[in-house]
Amino acid sequence: MDGHCPTARSYSRDLAACPRTRLPCRFRIVGSGGRSAVLLTADHAGRSIPRSLAKLQLSDEVLETHGAWDLGVAALAERLSARLDAVLILHNYSRLVIDVNHPPWAPDSIVVRSENALIPSNRTLSSDVRRRGPEALFEPCHRRIAAELDGRSRQGQPGVLVAVHSFTPVHGGQRRIPHVELEVRQDLIATTKGQQACWPLPSAAG
């Protein structure tokens, strides 16, 4: 895998083929038709990587860490979806490919270092491949989120976007007490303000 540099064509071909291959689609919908005002998202629920990126030249050990995805967040978000009768949108691809929780132009949209690991492939991506990442992964997911919220707005229904994240116990050498973050945004068209709530999870015995 040394020196592997994907082409924009191979990258796009991987993503276009996902419905008919074992490669996961960009995102997954749970609770379609849910009646809650809440729309749940889990931006870092998956750790899939397009084949053309050759696992980003990373070991399986690194790809199993929190740097690659939010461990446990998919199961938690699905439980919240069932409890609230809420639509849930889970992103299937690793944040190391592209972080859909950041705008495509942000420096941390495609990172070259994550926590304690370097991402060799991301250091050598061509401008074409960097452009295809947002087109192939970021934009479809956010179009679906916007469609859900716009549909509610057209029907005069309230909409509350709740992004579900899990935390690693230590990040950047700093200990983090919360295990889970729920980032709440209401009436996104009228305001860009948001609220965040972070809680430690109860112990297994609790």
Both tokens of residue 197?
Answer: 């709530």
183 — pLDDT class (breaks 50, 70, 90)? low
* 131 against 186, higher pLDDT: 131
CA distance 23 to 92: 10
pLDDT of residue 67: 87
How much is the pTM?
0.74
108-146-18 Cα angle (round to 5)? 70
Q: Each residue of 69-92: pLDDT tens digit?
A: 988 899 999 999 999 999 999 999
Mean pLDDT of the residues in the chain: 75
Both tokens of residue 144?
Answer: 């679906």
Highest mean predicted confidence (pLDDT) among 12-21, 60-69, 129-138, 174-183: 60-69
pLDDT of residue 122: 86
| Residues 187/163, Cβ–Cβ less than 8 Å | no
Domains (range + CATH), the chain:
8-199 (3.40.630.40)
Q: How many CB atoms lie within 10 A of CB 184?
A: 13
pLDDT of residue 83: 95
CA distance 162 to 88: 9
Highest mean predicted confidence (pLDDT) among 21-25, 41-45, 131-135, 190-194: 41-45
Q: Each residue of 3-13: pLDDT tens digit?
A: 444 444 554 55
DSSP-derived letter for residue 183 is E
206 — pLDDT class (breaks 50, 70, 90)? very low
169 — pLDDT class (breaks 50, 70, 90)? low
Q: How far is CA 150 from the centre of its chain?
A: 21
Q: Each residue of 186-204: pLDDT tens digit?
A: 544 333 334 444 333 333 3
pLDDT of residue 108: 85
